Structure 1
Amino acid sequence: MQYPEFIHEVKQQLGVQTQEDVLDITRAFLHTLTEHLAGNAADNLGAQLPAPLLDIIREIDPEQRDQGERFKLKEFYERVADKLGVDEETGQRYTQQFMKVFGRMVTEGELHKLKVSLSDDYAPLFEGLQTAQNAPN
């Protein structure tokens, strides 16, 4: 998925109007995910994303990207909400909807690696996702 298509898809999926809204939500999601992942997992995921999204991941210092802070899905929603200045319900909705677009940007193998690196309570985020290999053209 190319960057302009990504912007369009997120606008449609999340019902936001501006590219700035898309980037704010993207930053909140990717930064929260990066906080959770250990080693070079965030960089590996980012390598499959359009370059501007990899740049968002790389806004986080490399030493911090490697930490792998563990937290449950509920806290993931809370962190996204806090970063966006919205309530937790909105953070949860944005996370779930963003994940539908995110899943179509990475390979099935990389998505599987992500899923197994997260605790079992993250499973709902992966249910019914289409990946880059099985997304309709």
Structure 2
Amino acid sequence: TSELSRRIKDAERDVKRLVTEEYLETPASPTHHNGHHRNGTDTEAQLRREGITQDAGSDDDTEDEDEDLQSVDALEDRFIALEEEVATLVADVHDLALYTKLNITGFMKILKVRFLLLTVNHTLTTLS
């Protein structure tokens, strides 16, 4: 169970790290900045306020898009790996719960049989 507990903690830490990285890498939504809702119709004014300008036809955007796609693919791969690990952990916890239930049920049966044997033995002893 200590290994299972360690694996759960590791998976939880990895999921938190993935979510934090994605949150930090995702640009702020243009309609929600610092918790204030903005009117989305004045795009030029929003770009000026946020300091974003067009560079008159630079092809740097394609490199950024390629990096973004690789970043998204890497995040998806990590997410899928974490999802599989969590599914395995859930199955392991379920199996452990069943095993524990079987052990408790078996233990209760042993106690009942033992109690019955002691009762029968005591009854036979008193009759003799």
Q: What interval of TM-score do these two structures reach, taking the shorter chain for normalisation?
A: under 0.3
TM-score (norm 1): 0.23
More helix by share: 2
User: Whose RCO is larger (CA < 8 A, sep 6+)?
Assistant: 2
